[in-house]
């Protein structure tokens, strides 16, 4: 994975992005391409669609009609979550104590993103385990993540960090910036899905 898929990294933040996706509030183009590709393969391979074109029609119909969102909400409820998760996602999820803008430390085009380092930064914030039995802080992570290829100036907001305190936010913001590379020229980006 050469960049974060979607605009979030972290448990509750990714769940909120899922709600936005399923309700049509915000469909990140790269996330949508991956979802369509995976769903198409599942529909065709299971025989529920004859071909790619009919599978894609089913996917769009499920999203546009709200049936995909309805089934997701039923799954959440069946797992012990709220029955109104789509309408009130934050009523059952906590938010981080501190949310801080991450500003670009250099100008240029975002050309590379070390997703492993960003993921490990989420773990460092408490959003993942480094040993069995550790508690996970579902509130922490990153959102408003800019994709590769965007041109920024020094001081532009390139993401936001959600943390338990200001010290953790400062460390994570520095780690996030260190996980990025910039170039003077617009980079040639890989296709979203490639083999």
Q: What tens-digit pLDDT sequence spans the chain (195 residues)? A: 789 999 999 999 999 999 999 999 999 999 999 999 999 999 999 999 999 999 999 999 999 999 999 999 999 999 999 999 999 999 999 999 999 999 999 999 999 999 999 999 999 999 999 999 999 999 999 999 999 999 999 999 999 999 999 999 999 999 999 999 999 999 999 888 876
HEC string for the chain: CCCCCCCCECHHHHHHHHHHHHHCCCCCHHHHHHHHHHHHHHHHHCCCCCCHHHHHHHHHHHHHHCHHHHHHHHHHHHCCCCCCCCCCHHHCCCCCCEEEEEECCCCEEEEEECHHHHHHHHHHHHHCCCCCCCCCCCCCEEECCCCCCCEECCCCEEEEEEECCHHHHHHHHHHHHHCEEEECCCCCCCCCCCC
Predicted confidence at residue 194, as pLDDT, reads 78
Architecture (CATH level 2) of domain 98-183: Alpha-Beta Complex (3.90)
Predicted confidence at residue 195, as pLDDT, reads 67
Residue spans of the domains in the chain: they are 11-91, 98-183
Q: What does pTM read for this prediction?
A: 0.92
């Amino acid at each position: 994975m050469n960049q974060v898929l979607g605009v979030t990294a972290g448990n509750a933040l990714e769940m909120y992005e899922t709600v936005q996706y399923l309700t049509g509030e915000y469909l990140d183009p790269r996330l949508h391409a991956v979802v369509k590709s995976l769903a198409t393969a599942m529909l065709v391979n299971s025989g529920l669609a004859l071909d790619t074109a009919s599978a894609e029609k089913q996917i769009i119909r499920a999203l546009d009609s709200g049936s995909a969102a309805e089934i997701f909400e039923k799954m959440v409820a069946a797992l012990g979550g709220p029955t109104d998760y789509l309408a009130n996602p934050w009523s059952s999820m906590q938010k981080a104590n501190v949310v801080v803008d991450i500003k670009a430390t250099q100008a240029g085009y975002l050309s590379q993103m070390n997703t492993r380092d960003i993921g490990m930064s989420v773990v460092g914030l408490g959003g993942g385990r480094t040993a069995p039995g550790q508690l996970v802080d579902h509130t922490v992570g990153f959102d408003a993540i800019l994709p590769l290829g965007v041109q920024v100036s020094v001081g532009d907001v390139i993401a936001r960090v959600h943390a338990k305190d200001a010290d953790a936010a400062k460390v994570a913001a520095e780690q996030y910036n260190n996980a990025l590379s910039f170039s003077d020229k617009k980079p040639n980006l890989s296709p979203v899905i490639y083999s």
